[in-house]
Amino acid sequence: MRVKFSKMHGLGNDFVMLDGVSQRIRLSPDKVRRIADRRLGIGCDQVLLVEPPRHPDTDFCYRIFNADGGEVENCGNGARCFARFVHERRLTGKQHLNVEIASGTLQLNLMDADQVEVNMGAPLLEPEQIPFRADRRAESYPLEVNGETFTIGAVSMGNPHAVLLVEDIQLAPVRELGPLLAVHSRFPQGVNVGFLQIETPSRAHLRVFERGVGETRACGTGACAAMVYAHQRELVEDKVDMHLPGGALTIHWSGPGQPVTMKGPAITVFHGQIIL
């Protein structure tokens, strides 16, 4: 079966976008892995699927699959590309979109040029919501890895995130610690691992070892989760420029119960067809 796709990225976090509105698409973990394979397929961090809305008050359904084939709850960089994609494919003419994801809904606002703003909803901080095994909710948690204890934040943006503060982002132990933490037993559904350096209360640097992928050039939900953790520790203001290896996102959050908003680019690289 030939399926049309668009190859897109948000700050180098790259995606294969599939239009499941105009085409009938059935994905399996094996098909996702093949699409994402950078030698046998197209190659991407995530495969993103646009589907018709399931509820009258939403415009589309947005499904996210990591390169390892697993379906997950949210993808921030992908949400910005989603907004651009549905416009380019003329699936909608609306500037403001209400999109259903596994963990709720996102509000997407297609702005000028290549900028898209996303209301990512309120972060979830109770351990059982993340999910994270802890006796009670805390600002940060001790976590033992191979006999060494680290201090982490634990935040859900619909998907789980662990955040560690580092002095120098260039020296962050992403490759050594990322894979160990991503499958830590206290995160029963796995976790995305962010390494965060605060430069000033409005400027920070972040690298993310993503669940189901590995280190990516950017992680939208990771940027939101890191900002929430730093804000709770009163290390940053309500607006932060979060610098990732692929570029910067602007994140706003004013405190518990409030939504996190994220603004950044969404780029289309090429269109094609794949045989599924």
Ligand X SMILES: N[C@H](CCC[C@H](N)C(=O)O)C(=O)O
Tell me the catalytic residues: 75, 219
Task: For residue 154, state whether it binds ligand X (rule: CB under 6 A).
Answer: no
Task: For residue 108, state whether it binds ligand X (rule: CB under 6 A).
Answer: no
Q: What is the 3-state secondary structure (H, E, C) of 16-72?
A: EEEECCCCCCCCCHHHHHHHHCCCCCCCCCEEEEEECCCCCCCCEEEEEEECCCCEE
| Overall residue count recorded for the chain in this entry | 276
Task: For residue 220, state whether it binds ligand X (rule: CB under 6 A).
Answer: yes
Strand partners, 192: 161
Task: Give residue 208's Cα distance to chain centre.
Answer: 10
Q: How far is the CB of 107 from ligand X (least distance, A)?
A: 16
* Contact pick of 72, 124, 169, 248 for ligand X (by CB under 6 A): 72
* Contact pick of 6, 77, 156, 232 for ligand X (by CB under 6 A): 77
* Contact pick of 6, 66, 105, 197 for ligand X (by CB under 6 A): 66
Site string (181-200) toward ligand X, x via CB under 6 A: -----------x--------
* Cα dihedral across residues 34, 35, 38, 41: positive or negative: positive
Q: How much is the CA Rg of the chain, to the nearest whole Å?
A: 18
> CB–CB of 80/9 below 8 Å?
no
Q: Residue 142: which residues within 8 A CB-CB, separation 6 or more?
A: 149, 150, 151
13 annotated ligand-binding residue: yes
Tell me the residue type at 160.
P
* Contact pick of 211, 231, 243, 252 for ligand X (by CB under 6 A): 211
Task: For residue 244, state whether it binds ligand X (rule: CB under 6 A).
Answer: no
Residues 193, 173: Cα–Cα separation, whole Å: 11
Return the ∠ at Cα 67 (arms to 193 and 23), rounded to 5°: 135
Q: How far is the CB of 244 from ligand X (least distance, A)?
A: 10
Task: For residue 119, state whether it binds ligand X (rule: CB under 6 A).
Answer: no
Task: For residue 13, state whether it binds ligand X (rule: CB under 6 A).
Answer: yes
Return the number of other C-beta atoms located less than 10 Å from residue 167's C-beta: 8
Tokens of 222: 């990771």
Task: For residue 210, state whether it binds ligand X (rule: CB under 6 A).
Answer: yes
> CB–CB of 83/77 below 8 Å?
no
> CB–CB of 133/186 below 8 Å?
yes
Task: For residue 84, state whether it binds ligand X (rule: CB under 6 A).
Answer: no
Q: How far is the CB of 164 from ligand X (least distance, A)?
A: 17
129 annotated ligand-binding residue: no
Task: For residue 118, state whether it binds ligand X (rule: CB under 6 A).
Answer: no
Task: For residue 35, state whether it binds ligand X (rule: CB under 6 A).
Answer: no
Nearer to ligand X (CB atom), residue 61 or residue 273: 61
**Residues in the annotated binding site:** 13, 46, 66, 76-77, 159, 192, 210-211, 220-221
- Interface positions with ligand X (CB under 6 A): 13, 45-46, 64, 66, 72, 75-78, 159, 192, 210-213, 216, 219-222
**Residues in the annotated binding site for substrate:** 13, 46, 66, 76-77, 159, 192, 210-211, 220-221
